[in-house]
Amino acid sequence: MSFALGLTGSIGMGKSTTAQMFVDEGCALWDADAAVHRLYSAGGTAVAPMGKTFSAAIVDGAVSRDALKQIISADPAALKVIETIVHPLVGADRAAFRENATADILVFDIPLLFETGGEAAMDAVACVSIPADEQKRRVMARGTMTEAQFEQIRAKQMPNDEKCARSDFVIVTDTLDHARAQVQDVVRQIRAVMADA
């Protein structure tokens, strides 16, 4: 019997780094973004259905995220259609991981966990968090998006305070050592509950 832990947090909060810390503690990790990447790559299960609906999205036998962005900016309604194609495939990928994983704790790294109602399928949720000014500083330091793009992404995500309030665990990622100590504590608590079950 394994324990399903949802790991969430807004952009720039340190979720990927924290997810790796759970792996270091012997947990198995399923990453929603990596799953979409697999589905979109050449031979991925999203390529054929996406190509049927949006032929312009297929470049070199794979789904091009840049092409999808252009399709969505030309027709915002296309996003809903893309989601109806991709979400069931992501769900199947997640179910296969859950079935085949052998670790005692399965960590599901899902940025929009609460926004999509995904917390219902989890035994508990951990949210990574830092103050808003530090979040913005980290994202801007990457140099991959403008301030307007960052604000647009942040606007689509549930407010951090609300995510933290709805989570069973909050991991403050102000320093690597502090984050790691909190991850170890979460793993300890979950394993203690599992031992008593």
**Amino acid at the residue 85:** I
Instruction: Encode pLDDT of 135-192 as tens digits.
Output: 999 999 999 889 998 988 888 889 999 999 999 999 999 999 999 999 999 999 999 9
The rounded Cα 63 to chain-centroid distance in angstroms is: 19
Q: Nearest Cα to 103, choosing from 189, 22, 40, 49? A: 22
Q: Nearest Cα to 90, choosing from 59, 149, 144, 49? A: 49
Instruction: Encode pLDDT of 42-97 as tens digits.
Output: 999 999 999 999 999 999 999 999 999 999 999 989 999 999 999 999 999 999 99
pTM: 0.90
Where do the structural domains in the chain lie, given as residue ranges? 1-27+105-197, 33-102
Q: Which CATH architecture has domain 1-27+105-197?
A: 3-Layer(aba) Sandwich (3.40)
Q: What's the Rg (C-alpha) of the chain?
A: 18
Q: Based on the number of CB atoms within 10 Å of its own CB, is 164 exposed (0-12), middle (13-18) or buried (19 or more)?
A: middle
